[in-house]
Amino acid sequence: MNQSDKVIISCAVTGAIHTPSMTPYLPITPDEIAASAIAAAEAGAAILHLHARNPETGQPDQTVEAFAGFLPRIKQATDAVINITTGGSPYMTVAERAKPAAHWQPEVASLNMGSMNFGFFPLLSKYKDFKYDWERAHLEGSRDLVFRNSFQDIEYVLETCYGNDTRFEFECYDISHLYNLAHFADRGLVKPPFFVQSVFGLLGGIGTHPEDVMHMKRTADRLFGKDFRWSVLGAGANQFRIATQAVAMGANIRVGLEDSIWIARGQLAESNAAQVLRAKAIIEGLGLSVATPEEAREMLSLKGGDRVNF
């Protein structure tokens, strides 16, 4: 693993898992997404991972137009690296999911490195009433949901975005996803430095035990050596415990309301910025420092904030 004393904080601003009834603080409209992303950058996030939502209902919206309401504003207000999802919602096809990144040509796009069960139906036990009809179906439907990322799907995203010099946040939810990434590296379809985003605690992927974190790092070290920059995200209540363990081991970290709506046990995070500030405190408490967007660009060999299509 390539590491430095500078730690990249990514912030995943809204995502496609949590629904409006779970927390009043989830950014939904373009104005809310823009404001929350800008505040997260001001708090120290060097990379902003962005999804879009229907402003009326909060449903995930992966249309190209849905991103137009906030991309230019975020770019104008911050120097942060914009990372557009190709994950969209796990219910969407890869062709739908890849459209925004292909069109807007961001410096970074996420790329999910394997198919998996993607279960967020356990959240149903916590919420009884929903503002919108789609929310319950969204959660219930994940009981029978496969988040499809076949080798052909991954090739499709690579072919669709690579010509734009977009580089990838390789989302790895389990050990096999690291081997899938190594497969594409062996074929020369992805070039180092690899930005490996290890996802812990999403039902259907690897767990959240410290041994799980060690095993993910050990395997990535063996497969990629100095060719990768490790980042971690802990889903839900595990977010900061996993971040703390991994930063101490040389990782970068991802926080944000996409991955967890909490700031502490039983306490809702009132903003993305609050989670970023908590991450910053962990980093600085270890005697490390938060990477600037320019430092992140250097570490990840990114094309530069002006070489985008927004």
Tell me which residues in 9-38 interact with Zn ion (CB under 5 A).
15
CA–CA separation, 2 and 17 (whole Å): 31
For ligand KMH, the closer of residues 43 and 235 by Cβ is: 235
For ligand KMH, the closer of residues 54 and 289 by Cβ is: 54
Sketch the per residue contact string, 82 through 121, with Zn ion: x for CB under 5 A, - otherwise.
---x-x----------------------------------
- 40: closest CA among 4, 77, 91, 94? 77
In the complex, which residues of this chain contact ligand KMH (CB under 6 A)? 12, 15, 17, 85-87, 110, 112, 171, 199, 202, 235, 258-259
- 167: closest CA among 247, 254, 229? 229
For ligand KMH, the closer of residues 12 and 161 by Cβ is: 12
Min dist. Cβ of residue 222 to Zn ion (A): 27
Min dist. Cβ of residue 233 to ligand KMH (A): 6
Tell me which residues in 33-92 interact with Zn ion (CB under 5 A).
85, 87
Min dist. Cβ of residue 247 to ligand KMH (A): 19
* Residue 199 contact among ligand KMH, Zn ion, none, beta carbon within 5 to 8 Å by kind: ligand KMH
- 4: closest CA among 38, 41, 46? 46
For Zn ion, the closer of residues 110 and 208 by Cβ is: 110
Given CA atoms 28, 87, 200, 231 in this order, what sign does their dihedral have?
A: negative
CA–CA separation, 204 and 145 (whole Å): 10
Min dist. Cβ of residue 87 to ligand KMH (A): 2
Min dist. Cβ of residue 49 to Zn ion (A): 6
Task: Reduce the DSSP state of residue 165 to 3 states and report it.
Answer: coil
- 66: closest CA among 28, 38, 94, 39? 28
Min dist. Cβ of residue 128 to Zn ion (A): 27
DSSP sequence for 109-157: EEEE-S-EE---GGGGGT----SSHHHHHHHHGGGG-EE---HHHHHHH
Please answer whether residues 48 and 121 qualify as being in contact, where contact means their C-beta atoms are separated by less than 8 angstroms: no
Element (H, E) at 50: strand 47-50
SS3 of 78-122: the string is CCCEEEECCCCCCCCCHHHHHHHHHHHCCCEEEEECCCEECCCHH
For ligand KMH, the closer of residues 44 and 201 by Cβ is: 201
* Residue 98 contact among Zn ion, ligand KMH, none, beta carbon within 5 to 8 Å by kind: none
Min dist. Cβ of residue 102 to Zn ion (A): 16
For Zn ion, the closer of residues 204 and 250 by Cβ is: 204
Residues binding Zn ion (CB under 5 A): 15, 85, 87
